Amino acid sequence: MSVSTSVTARRVAAAVIAAGALVGSASVSASAAAPRDRSHVAISRVQSDAPGFDDRSARSLNAEWVEITNSGRHGVNLNGWTLKDEDGNRYTFRHYTLAGRSTVRVHTGYGRDTNRDLFQDRRNEVWDNRSDTATLRSDRGRFVDSVSWGRHHDRNHGRDDHRGHGH
């Protein structure tokens, strides 16, 4: 084997190794950029009609709520996400991460926020007892989930009204 053939063979081998390394790093980068666990956040239950009288007391307002569940393994940052009714009443999540495999209850009334309970701090009912739609959107305004009850039952795609509303 001549010296020039040996040098050419080494250059070709080096090019093949470099190309393999480049392809390997590109596939690692692509897989690292992909989310490990997709968001599995959904509205799991709604209690639009608080038990007892709707007297706008803290007890009555806090008995009106929407539950949001993360069925995924990883926490999801809900900062900037919104929960809205048909009349345009909107609650925006602030500085809240919903842990993996957990549920948070968003109460209409006022109180002290915890990991399991958040409060809209409203003095009036939000959810219409007879018919309404709760819609959850991401911080970028993308539709995540909705639950309808009353005259909107057909838009529920076969799910039970309120998903365990409790009546």
Note down pLDDT in tens along the chain; length 167 residues.
554 445 455 554 555 454 444 444 433 333 333 344 447 999 999 999 999 888 989 899 999 999 999 999 999 999 999 999 999 999 999 999 999 999 999 999 999 999 999 999 999 999 999 999 999 999 999 999 999 999 755 544 434 445 544 33
* Whole-structure pTM value: 0.70
* pLDDT of 151: 79
> Regarding beta strands 65-70 and 82-84, do their DSSP bridges make them parallel or antiparallel, or are they unpaired?
unpaired
The 10 Å Cβ neighbour count of residue 129 is 14
Q: Would you say 84 and 135 are in contact if contact means Cβ atoms under 8 Å apart?
A: yes
Instruction: Please identify which residue in the block is written with the tokens 């970028």.
Output: 140
> Regarding beta strands 117-119 and 143-149, do their DSSP bridges make them parallel or antiparallel, or are they unpaired?
unpaired
The C-alpha R_g of the chain, in whole angstroms, comes to 26
pLDDT digits (tens, 9 = 90+) for 105-138: 999 999 999 999 999 999 999 999 999 999 999 9
CA distances from 150 to 49, 64, 154 (A): 12, 16, 9
Task: Give the end-to-end CA distance of the chain in Å, rounded to a whole number.
Answer: 88
* Total residues belonging to the chain: 167
147 phi, psi to nearest 5 deg: -135, 130
* pLDDT of 10: 53
